[in-house]
Structure 1
Amino acid sequence: MKTRAQIYEREAAALLRDISMYQVLTEQQLLRLHPGKDDKVRNLLAYLVRQGRIWQDGPYYCAAPDSTGTVDWTLFAAVWVLADFIGQVEYHSIGDFPAKIIFFAEGEVYEIIYIAQGRETLVTQALKNSGEQPSRYLVIVDSAEQIGALQIPNVNGYCTVSLEGDVEYYRKE
């Protein structure tokens, strides 16, 4: 017979991995990254906080006690986009510039990129020089008006993300 610890071991490890990797996440983000496991996730978050393995600062679950002071809001937004695709995601991780998150889904590599207002040219140039097998891109912008200034190959979609996690998708025509 399995103990409670053995039953929840895999889920706890997955939560710790996500929080350690992304540094600061809300309960809602964690619930969306682990669909269909709401009660388990909530129970494990409470347990991990009591054990001192993660910290809670208001609505945020953090990898370190002072993490909320240094939140990367662009990465935070990228997690919301990742959550929209989590049903197809096989693996996800932090990306290298300009990608915030890289993930594999249905045999394809996707990168979630955040382009702040005024950084369109810099990121466009960085992505034009991508390798032989470029990724598919999901591009987060500060405003939909930026989309017209972007000339990026292999873009599957553009989006804006509110701090509350509302994602609005766009396609370039």
Structure 2
Amino acid sequence: MKTRAELYGHEATELLRIISMYPGLSEKQLCRFYPGREDVTRNLLSHLCRQGRTRQADTGGYFPYGNGKAETDPGMVRAAWVLLDFIDRAEYHSSSEFPVKIAFFSKGELYEIVHAAAGQEALVTHALRQSRDSGGRRIVLVDDPGQIPLLEFPGITGFCMVDGSGNVSYYKKST
């Protein structure tokens, strides 16, 4: 007979990895990383909180132990919703450096979720024009569709917006 640790040790480790990479995600988001295993995920979150390895902030987001500030990065939380649209096809995913929030591989191709906050279009465009082309496909997360014409850099596959409920709307730039 297997112990609880043997049954759920890998899942707990992976869940802690996700919470560490993407601090501030909600229970709903964390459960979406494990489709069909939502009850197990909720139980693991509760167990990890009781162990003091993670905690849930007043905002509802989960943070790793030792993250005293528990400040949520709204761009990261919204980028995670975009990743979750692809999670069943993602071979690997990880947080990244500004302006890329999340990078993931799907079918051997690199995808980058870039967050272009309102008012930062020129900065994001400049940063990604200057950077070495990653060869990846870039999904650009915007706060408003009016930002789309202001963004021009290599590798753009499409644009998206995420509403307060986590629903993602995708756009293409009209030519």
Above 0.5 in TM-score? yes
Q: Does 1:112 align with 2:113?
A: yes
Kindly provide the CA deviation profile for residues 30-82 of structure 1, in whole angstroms up to 9, marking residues without a partner as x: 011121211110111111111111112242222146343x2111111111111
Of 65, 68, 73 in structure 2, the residue corresponding to residue 66 of structure 1 is 68
Cα distance, 1:157–1:130 mapped onto 2, change above 3 Å: same
Note the C-alpha offset of 1:112. 0.6
Cα distance, 1:62–1:132 mapped onto 2, change above 3 Å: closer
Corresponding residue SS for 2:12? helix
Q: What is the TM-score with the length of structure 2 in the denominator? A: 0.91
Q: Which 5+ residue runs of structure 2 have no aligned equivalent?
A: none
Counterpart Cα distance in 2 of 1:48 and 1:79: 21
- Residues 88, 105 of structure 1: 8 Å contact kept: yes
Q: Does 1:53 align with 2:41?
A: no
- Which stretch has the larger CA shift, 157-166 or 104-113? 157-166
Counterpart Cα distance in 1 of 2:40 and 2:158: 33
Say what the alpha-carbon RMSD is for the aligned residues. Answer: 1.6
Q: Does 1:78 align with 2:79?
A: yes
Q: What is the TM-score with the length of structure 1 in the denominator? A: 0.92
Counting aligned pairs with the same residue, the percent is 48
Runs of 4 or more off by more than 6 Å in structure 1?
A: none
Name 2:148's counterpart in structure 1. Answer: 147
Q: Which 5+ residue runs of structure 1 have no aligned equivalent?
A: none
Name 1:92's counterpart in structure 2. Answer: 93
**Count of residues in Structure 1 that have an aligned counterpart in Structure 2:** 172
Note the C-alpha offset of 1:124. 1.3
Name 2:38's counterpart in structure 1. Answer: 38
Q: Which amino acid aligns with 2:119?
A: G
Counterpart Cα distance in 2 of 1:99 and 1:149: 17
